[in-house]
Chain A
Amino acid sequence: MLLQQLINGLTLGGVYALIALGYTMVYGILELINFAHGEIYMLGAYLGIIFLGLFTVTGLTSVSLPLALFLTILLTIIVCSAYGFTMEKIAYKPLRNAPRLSPLISAIGVSIFLQNYVMLTQGATDKVFPQRFGDSGLQFLNVNMTYLQALIIIVSGVLMLSLHLFIQKTRMGKAMRATAQDKTMASLVGINVNSIISATFIIGAGLAAVAGIMVASYYGLVNYYIGYIAGIKAFTAAVLGGIGNIPGAMLGGIILGLVESAGAAYISSEYKDAYAFIILIVILLIKPAGILGKTTEEKV
């Protein structure tokens, strides 16, 4: 029972972590809570259905299912990243030097726009994500882990590890960290701050796109408002780990997933969505900077 909840929690937590990364990366650089980020995840889920449907109709899924799935994920990432990139250019960049409340309001505007845009183009009723895995899976120690769960855990783990290495080791990753710490100085060493910001939105949107496809196939149903609750939960995960802190978002997401599935199993599944907010309240009371968040100290 405990092990089963651990697996369920990791599945959910991996997905929350992927979305939380987008929040935390954007916050780290722009100090902006991108409230429209959850909608990118929702778009990812819809695009997953559309592309997979397209490949089913054209017969690619019966030729090679792995190839069809790979192409679905790849195309979804590309389109969602384009949405993320465009969102920043239209809604946030013109407000770069505006008071901090303005981009926040703009973010809420983008969020409402994207929800309604999807509702109008895709309809207000639930869409079914084509099930490709069934309920088959691995049985061990009285535990049932579906192949889909295994896939979600592995994919989110690999993506988080790659992102971590990218941020820590590559030239662009280091430039991202430098930009997050001091934008003016970053431009004085020759970093094009605008491209770094664009890259941040593109990467965040790509991760959310993957999360969208995975959740849609996990739960099987998609609606235009799923981005809202997932976004709020991922935001909670980011705050829990320490907003602006990348390993923090990963940790926060996994903890949130574990708490939610344990809560649903041992306390009550009715309150499944409430646990995230209880955590948010507790963390804000006890350690507002988050688990890995540090209150910054700088020498003068």
Chain B
Amino acid sequence: MLNLSSIQTSYGHIKALKGIDIEVEKDEIICLIGSNGAGKTTTLLTISGILKPDSGDITFEGESLKNMPPHTVVNKGICQVPEGRRIFPRLTVLENLEMGAYSLNFKSQTSNFKNNIEKVFSLFPVLKERTKQMGGTLSGGEQQMLAIGRALMANPKLLLLDEPSLGLAPIMVSKIFKTIKEINEEGVTILLVEQNAKAALRLSNRGYVLENEVIKLSGTGENLLHNEDVKKAYLGE
């Protein structure tokens, strides 16, 4: 479904990715783990078209994304929940969700929009109580739910999640991971970037370990969980 081959991306003169190969099949949950600065966020931003790769190619359902602007990538069915959630702080919760559906050109009254928003509200009932509240006034956990809900409004085929558990209370973290599983079961393919490697690997079909701007290891979630190097470096065992 999604294929990255020898992707190199840089910030100015600094190489942030030195030739990355990643493959995501339909209906999978794939996780990308690695320490700070390994290039995980860069990978997601490159897929979404925010950063342009210097070389290599990205294809999605056979079509190259390499020279597409970000809004066109969204139209192809790839939505990203970025690091730090990036809720529009001075739009209401409802308006944030409406913006999520921007690429679909829905009118707020159409049944499609209503279906999507009902789906989001059934995943995250708390958002329904807060529709008129400004996004910036929500708690961290609520903002994370809104960020995921906003991405789901566009009916994505592939959802990119960047550190969804960052800065959340443990109970919230497990709720978010449970929800990711539910979203996947609804037929959305997921590429997950996480620092919480143990929880992420348990959830995922396969994983990639990113170290010093290259893929160091890859395998099924189960295998990586029992790999000695991964245990030492990322699982604290």
A residues apposed to B, CB below 8 Å:
171, 174-175, 177-178, 181-182, 184-193, 296-300
Interface of A is mostly: helix
Q: Which of B75, B88, B139, B167 contacts A185 (CB 8 A)?
A: B88
Give A290 Cβ to nearest chain B Cβ, in Å: 16
**A-facing mask of B123-149, CB < 8 A → 1, else 0?**
000000000000011111001000000
Interface residue count on the B side (C-beta < 8 Å): 33
Total number of residue pairs linking A and B with CB closer than 8 Å: 77
Given A189-B102, A298-B136, A299-B143: A178 and B50 interface contact (C-beta under 8 Å): no
**A-facing mask of B182-195, CB < 8 A → 1, else 0?**
00000000000000
Docked-complex contact B86 and A178, CB < 8 angstroms: no
B19 adjacent to chain A (CB < 8 Å) = no
* Complex interface residues of chain B between 41 and 99 (CB less than 8 A to chain A): 48-50, 69-71, 74-75, 79-80, 82, 84, 86, 88-91, 95, 98-99
B residues apposed to A, CB below 8 Å:
48-50, 69-71, 74-75, 79-80, 82, 84, 86, 88-91, 95, 98-100, 102-103, 107, 136-140, 143, 150, 154, 167
Given A174-B98, A174-B99, A299-B136: A188 and B89 interface contact (C-beta under 8 Å): no
Docked-complex contact A187 and B95, CB < 8 angstroms: no
Contacts of A188 in B (CB 8 A): 48, 50, 70, 74, 79-80, 82, 86
Docked-complex contact B71 and A181, CB < 8 angstroms: no
Give B140 Cβ to nearest chain A Cβ, in Å: 7
Contacts of B139 in A (CB 8 A): 299
Docked-complex contact B89 and A184, CB < 8 angstroms: no
Q: In the complex the two chains form, what is the Cα distance from A193 to B79 in whole Å?
A: 16
Docked-complex contact B86 and A190, CB < 8 angstroms: no
The residue of chain A having its C-beta at the shortest distance from the C-beta of B138 within the complex is A299
Docked-complex contact A175 and B88, CB < 8 angstroms: no
Contacts of A191 in B (CB 8 A): 71, 99, 102
A-B contact pairs, 5 of them (CB 8 A): A178-B88, A182-B86, A182-B88, A189-B79, A299-B89
Docked-complex contact A181 and B74, CB < 8 angstroms: no
Give B138 Cβ to nearest chain A Cβ, in Å: 8
Q: In the complex the two chains form, what is the Cα distance from A188 to B86 in whole Å?
A: 10
Docked-complex contact B103 and A189, CB < 8 angstroms: yes
Q: Which of B50, B91, B107, B143 contacts A177 (CB 8 A)?
A: B91
Q: Which of A184, A187, A189, A299 contacts B150 (CB 8 A)?
A: A189
Docked-complex contact B74 and A189, CB < 8 angstroms: yes
Docked-complex contact B140 and A181, CB < 8 angstroms: no
Contacts of B154 in A (CB 8 A): 189-190
Contacts of A181 in B (CB 8 A): 88-91
Contacts of B84 in A (CB 8 A): 300
Docked-complex contact A189 and B99, CB < 8 angstroms: yes
Given A181-B89, A298-B136: A190 and B82 interface contact (C-beta under 8 Å): no
Q: In the complex the two chains form, what is the Cα distance from A31 to B140 in whole Å?
A: 27
Contacts of B136 in A (CB 8 A): 297-299
Identify which of A184, A185, A193 gathers the most chain B CB atoms within 10 Å of its CB.
A185
Docked-complex contact B90 and A187, CB < 8 angstroms: no
Q: In the complex the two chains form, what is the Cα distance from A270 to B1 in whole Å?
A: 73
Contacts of B69 in A (CB 8 A): 187, 192
CB-CB nearest 4 A-B residue pairs: A190-B103, A190-B74, A187-B70, A185-B86
Give A249 Cβ to nearest chain B Cβ, in Å: 16
Docked-complex contact B91 and A185, CB < 8 angstroms: no
Docked-complex contact A178 and B70, CB < 8 angstroms: no
Docked-complex contact A193 and B91, CB < 8 angstroms: no
Contacts of A175 in B (CB 8 A): 99, 102
Docked-complex contact B74 and A299, CB < 8 angstroms: no
Contacts of B167 in A (CB 8 A): 300
Q: In the complex the two chains form, what is the Cα distance from A185 to B99 in whole Å?
A: 10
Q: Which of B48, B80, B82, B99 contacts A178 (CB 8 A)?
A: B99
Q: Which of B75, B90, B138, B140 contacts A190 (CB 8 A)?
A: B75
Q: In the complex the two chains form, what is the Cα distance from A296 to B84 in whole Å?
A: 17
Q: In the complex the two chains form, what is the Cα distance from A182 to B6 in whole Å?
A: 30
Contacts of B50 in A (CB 8 A): 184, 187-188
Q: In the complex the two chains form, what is the Cα distance from A184 to B51 in whole Å?
A: 11
Docked-complex contact B71 and A193, CB < 8 angstroms: yes
Q: In the complex the two chains form, what is the Cα distance from A187 to B68 in whole Å?
A: 12
Contacts of A297 in B (CB 8 A): 136
Give B112 Cβ to nearest chain A Cβ, in Å: 14
Contacts of A185 in B (CB 8 A): 82, 86, 88
Contacts of B99 in A (CB 8 A): 174-175, 178, 186, 189, 191
Contacts of B80 in A (CB 8 A): 188
The residue of chain B having its C-beta at the shortest distance from the C-beta of A187 within the complex is B70
Give B12 Cβ to nearest chain A Cβ, in Å: 11
